Amino acid sequence: MMFWYGNGMNEWGYVLMTVSMVLFWGLVILGIVVMIRYLAQASQRRGKAGTPRLTPERLLAERFARGEIDEPEYRTRLATLQGSGTADGS
């Protein structure tokens, strides 16, 4: 009565056992990788939240400091940002 299905596992049983074990460990490893990536992105998002956003004036000043724009263009754009519309402020 003990061996209703034969003497034990046949070759299909071993194949099924091997495939299921590979799938199980693959899913475990995939789950760990996904969790690590999620936690790393969450910590990066928290780090970025503490950095101040650049204001348009500060961004313009950085472009001027890098030499991307010259002084007349800097003053014109700064006046435009500040709402006066002219470079001399009148």
Domain coordinates in residue numbering, the chain: 54-84
Percent of the chain residues past pLDDT 70, beyond the cut = 77
Percent of the chain residues past pLDDT 90, beyond the cut = 49
pTM: 0.44
Summarize pLDDT for 49-74 with one digit per residue, the tens.
556 678 889 999 999 999 999 999 99
Q: What is the DSSP string of 19-85?
A: HHHHHHHHHHHHHHHHHHHHHHHHHHHHHHHTSPPPPHHHHHHHHHHHTSS-HHHHHHHHHHHHT--
